[in-house]
Amino acid sequence: MAELEAGTTTGRQRPRPLSPHLQVYRMMLTFVMSGFHRISGFVLYFGILLLAWWLIAAASGPNAYANVEWFMGSLIGRLVLFGYTWALLHHMLGGIRHLIWDTIHGFEPTERELLALATLVGSISLTLIVWVVGYLAMGGPR
Amino acid sequence: MKGPQMRTPMRRVRGLGAAHSGTKHFWHQRVTSVAGIPLTIALVVIVVALLGRNHAAVVQILGSPIVAIVMLLFIINTVYHMWIGMQEIIIDYVHEDKLKLASLMANTFFCFAVAFASAFAILKLSFGV
């Protein structure tokens, strides 16, 4: 406010600096990964219902558990579970990145870009590894 | 403390910032995120180990003390972490007072419901009946 008033007292409006809108920023990986972290957290918030459903079904009995098994085994169920796995691991690695930043390390341009890239590559790789191991544990896709 | 102070003397006396509760939630989010790393890895290992097993085997493994304790810790830690996180999202994006209060309440209800339902299920698997 003080700046605005100072601008008007000179008699003519000085062009004030405007905050750049989101669309004019060059897309940076750190910016995208920051959004991913919040979105993955938001998704996981509701995704935990899958875990709760699984636990309650297991505690309820064989019939309830069969329903969970049926859903998780369906194409949609597998897609949801795959997304949940990725969101979980991505949020975990993103969290580790934030913990590193909390120690005031990794803020150099190359470092923060590397950390952002490592989060993405790491989460995708870990998700694929978990699913390959999972399928191997089940004796292959079925 | 050295250097210029952003906080006014009154805030310093009360130990509170704009959040009206100091930095408690910020710190708790860090504590639960650190705890969440081993607990999340443990959850993934447990779930993968249970894939494709029949109900009886799943009940037996989930109900064994070590697995049940790890699952309980995961649930409690994660639900508190996500309660703080969702509160932060609501405060960031919901500005209408009534809707904000309703959202914050719904967040608490949801988190308590998920935590208690999951914990009850794990305890039932452990103690039987």
Dihedral of the CA atoms B77, B80, B83, B87 (nearest 10)?
-120
Residue A79 to residues A51, A74, B38, B51, B117, Cα–Cα distance (Å): 15, 9, 25, 16, 25
pLDDT tens, chain A, 142 aa long? 444 554 455 556 778 777 766 677 777 888 889 999 999 999 999 999 999 999 999 999 999 999 999 999 999 999 999 999 999 999 999 999 999 999 999 999 899 999 999 999 999 999 999 999 999 988 877 6
Complex ipTM over 0.90: no
pTM of the predicted structure, to 2 decimals = 0.84
Question: Cβ A65–B30 below 8 Å, yes or no?
Answer: no
- CB spacing of A51 vs B37 below 8 angstroms: no
Looking at beta carbons, which residues of chain B come within 8 Å of A45? 82, 85-86
Chain A residues with CB inside 8 Å of B42's CB?
A: none
> What domains can you pick out in chain B, each with its CATH number?
36-127 (1.20.1300)
Domain regions of chain A by residue span? 21-137
- The Cα of A140 is separated from the nearest Cα of chain B by a number of Å equal to 11
Per-residue tokens: A123: 């989460």
- Best of A39, A54, A55 to substitute, by most chain B Cβ atoms within 10 angstroms, is A55
CATH of domain A21-137: 1.20.1300.10
CB-CB contact of B94 with B103 (8 Å)? yes
Closest alpha carbon to A115 in A125, A128, A129, A105? A105
